[in-house]
Amino acid sequence: MLNCAHVDNQLHKGPASSHSNFARYAIYYTPQPGTALAAFGRSWFGRANDGATLQAFSTSGLSGSSVTNVTPLPARYSGLHAVVRPPFALREDAAFEDVRTRLINFSARRKPVETGPLTLARSGHHLVLRPLEPEPALDWLATQCVNAFEEFAADPLEDDEEHRHLSNFQRLLLRSYGHPHVMSEYQFAITLTGPLDPAHLERVSQALWPVIEDICADGVTIDGLSLFGDAGGRMPMRLIGRHGLGA
């Protein structure tokens, strides 16, 4: 198994200014390198969170199935992850180093959380992995994370008139935090596909389940939080560093 502290140290090398020029930042859960979930993510998306690329079996077809040429998510997707703190732009008086320091301290003061068994589920027109049963400790971690970084976030620019499908409360969250699915509306989910029609979703789900059944049965440990930077345009968000919980 790869040493995550070593990976983080390598990512932190270089001038700090290279990390302060991102348009937005986000905090995700990403699987620890060397785990079964990380290996699956590399194979499914053809991209690791660190930017390494390889042939994705999602584009060359699942072995023994009729599902071929699946494009899981747009090219700018940053590899297998679950959103904990949605992307946010920095306030004019906020500094990147303050954000990173806050995440290091925040992570060190939290304990790892077990998801329990996972299930392959539909979320709208997407396929996601999510806990089979609600896990309050996971929801609380996400809520604390949103609150801990709110002082660094610029005022959201989202126009709720473009999101007429949202409830009134979700619109309030969108105007307040830039995302409608935070706080009590949060659901931990690892997105596996982009939007697909119902028939295609069913075929992909049936073909994919045997590949991830053991991972889902074991569940995963949320043992770290990762800071990502968004350079804008069509580039994938870049992993800046992964920080272990309770480290």
- Which residue from 236, 154, 202, 224 is spatially nearest to 3, judged by alpha carbons? 224
Rounded to whole angstroms, the Cα distance separating 177 from 182 reads 8
Q: Is residue 5 included in any domain, yes or no?
A: no
Q: Is residue 234 included in any domain, yes or no?
A: yes
Rounded to whole angstroms, the Cα distance separating 115 from 136 reads 10
Q: Residue for token digits 């060359």?
A: 60
Domain CATH for 127:
3.90.1140
Instruction: Pull the structure tokens for residue 215.
Output: 């991972």
Domain count, the chain: 1
Q: Is residue 93 included in any domain, yes or no?
A: yes
Instruction: Pull the structure tokens for residue 152.
Output: 């660094």
Sheet holding 24-29, edge to edge: 118-123, 126-131, 190-191, 82-88, 24-29, 224-230, 238-244
- Which residue from 130, 43, 110 is spatially nearest to 80, judged by alpha carbons? 43
The CA R_g of the chain, rounded to the nearest whole Å, is 18
CB neighbour list of residue 213: distance below 8 Å, 6 or more residues apart: none
Residue range(s) defining the domain that contains residue 147:
32-244
Q: Is residue 215 included in any domain, yes or no?
A: yes
208 CB burial (10 A radius; 0-12, 13-18, 19+): buried
pLDDT by position in tens, the chain (length 247): 333 333 344 444 443 446 678 999 999 999 999 999 999 988 888 766 665 544 445 444 455 455 555 555 555 567 899 999 999 999 999 999 999 999 999 999 999 999 999 999 998 888 999 999 999 999 999 999 999 999 999 988 766 556 778 888 988 888 889 888 899 999 999 999 888 888 888 988 998 999 999 999 999 999 999 999 998 877 788 999 999 999 6
